[in-house]
C-alpha cells in the first residue's frame, strides 16, 4: 500500500519527542537524520485501533522556548479501495531544511495524529489543525484521478 505524503519543513529541530496520546494511531519515536539537502524527519505510525482508517492528519507542532510557533500537517491517504488496517504500521518521513542562520535558536517539536477518518465514515480527533478539510480535498482529488483513469 502506498501512502501519498509530502512534508517540507523550513525549521531545524533537535528535540526528538513524540506524542502517543490515546487514539487509533500510535506515533513512534521521531528521529532526525542527515540528508544531502538538510535533514530527514522519520517516525513510524501504527493503527492500534480496531477499525480500518481511510485517511489521517499527522501534525508536527513546532515550539521555541516552550511556545508554539507553527505546525505542519501531513495527510495520509491510502489509494482507492485500500485502508490503513488495524495492526499495520508505516514509516512517515519528510525533509527538514537546514536553518539559514546556524546561530538561530533550536526548535522543539511534538508529533501527533490530530484527525482520523475511518473507513465507515466515523471520525476521531480534536482536528485542531483542520486536517479534516485537507483530508476531504485529498480524497476528492484521489477519486477524480481514479475516475479519469477508468476506460470510457
Domain interval for residue 103: 8-149
| Number of residues assigned to the chain | 152
Asked if pLDDT for residue 68 goes beyond 60, the answer is yes
d(CA 14, CA 146): 40
Asked if pLDDT for residue 25 goes beyond 90, the answer is yes
pLDDT mean over 74-97? 83
What are 71's three cell numbers? 505546525
Cα Dmax for the chain: 59
d(CA 121, CA 139): 12
Instruction: Specify if 137 maps to a domain.
Output: yes
Of the candidates 56, 57, 71, the one whose C-alpha atom is nearest the C-alpha of residue 13 is 71
CATH code, 53? 2.60.40
Does the pTM exceed 0.85? no
pLDDT in tens, 102-132: 555 677 778 899 999 999 999 999 999 999 9
- Split at pLDDT 50, 70, 90, the class of 43 is confident
Structurally, the chain folds into a number of domains equal to 1
Mean pLDDT, the chain, rounded, equals 77
What's the pLDDT at 88?
Answer: 94
Instruction: Specify if 17 maps to a domain.
Output: yes
Instruction: Specify if 3 maps to a domain.
Output: no
- Split at pLDDT 50, 70, 90, the class of 99 is low
Instruction: Specify if 12 maps to a domain.
Output: yes
Amino acid at each position: 500500500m502506498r501512502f501519498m505524503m509530502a512534508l517540507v519543513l523550513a525549521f531545524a529541530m533537535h528535540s526528538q519527542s513524540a506524542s502517543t496520546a490515546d487514539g487509533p494511531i500510535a506515533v513512534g519515536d521521531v528521529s532526525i537524520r542527515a540528508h544531502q539537502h538538510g535533514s530527514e524527519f522519520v517516525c513510524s505510525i501504527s493503527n492500534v485501533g480496531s477499525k480500518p482508517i481511510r485517511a489521517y492528519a499527522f501534525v508536527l507542532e513546532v515550539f521555541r522556548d516552550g511556545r508554539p510557533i507553527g505546525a505542519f500537517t501531513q495527510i495520509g491517504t491510502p489509494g482507492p479501495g485500500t485502508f490503513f488496517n488495524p495492526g499495520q504500521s508505516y514509516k512517515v518521513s519528510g525533509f527538514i531544511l537546514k536553518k539559514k542562520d546556524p546561530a538561530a535558536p533550536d526548535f522543539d517539536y511534538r508529533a501527533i495524529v490530530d484527525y482520523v477518518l475511518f473507513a465507515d465514515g466515523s471520525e476521531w480527533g480534536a482536528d485542531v489543525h483542520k486536517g479534516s478539510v485537507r483530508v476531504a480535498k485529498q480524497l476528492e482529488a484521489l477519486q477524480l484521478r481514479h475516475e479519469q483513469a477508468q476506460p470510457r
